[in-house]
Structure 1
Amino acid sequence: MTAHARNRLNADFSNPVRLSIMGSLNTVEEADFKTLRDALGISDSVLSRHLSALEDKGYVKIRKGFVGKRPRTWAKLSPEGRVAFTDHVQALKEITGLA
């Protein structure tokens, strides 16, 4: 008997904001904080908290720097994060019959 696809869902992506962050970062090489915040329609504090949690789990890499004299933050999926997200999405497709 094969395990149901729901057993392959990643609990770290069960929060809609985290799922949205992962989905947004999956489509680009890297995104700056402001662009990501605006695309998701969330506050700075919410994005910061969820990015930190995803970074702590090793799914996201954060880079800080400057553009001119202004500080900037960029985020991108780690190789492990990309694999974990792809696996999660595949499990969702199987559960919904879209695979």
Structure 2
Amino acid sequence: MATSDIKGVQGTIAFDGEWITITKPQARQGEREFRIRAADITGIRVKPATRLFYGYVHIILPGSAAAAESTSLSAGGRPRHSDPRSLTIPRRANDAAVRLVAAVEQTRPTS
């Protein structure tokens, strides 16, 4: 399976067919990588970006609450940057986010 990549505002999401890797810069720590096995996730929330606001991709794991969305006007309802399972995306990444969700859904076990 081909790799699916999303270039976000401050980081990237890559999917290699089995693992989702979110790479984000962390304060005073350089870049940090978070790996999640696609078969372990419950779902992916995507809020498409618009001309005025960035969107986001958020990975949901079993037993964990979805990230809270910021209510400030400047954040546009996105999860906080410190959330390791989400990435803020620009409008040009909307199509890549849809492709990522489709690729991950194909690899997840059906119940």
Q: TM-score range by the shorter chain?
A: 0.3 to 0.5
- Output the TM-score relative to the length of structure 1: 0.34
Return the structure number with greater helix share: 1
Q: Which has the larger radius of gyration?
A: 1
Return the structure number with greater strand share: 2
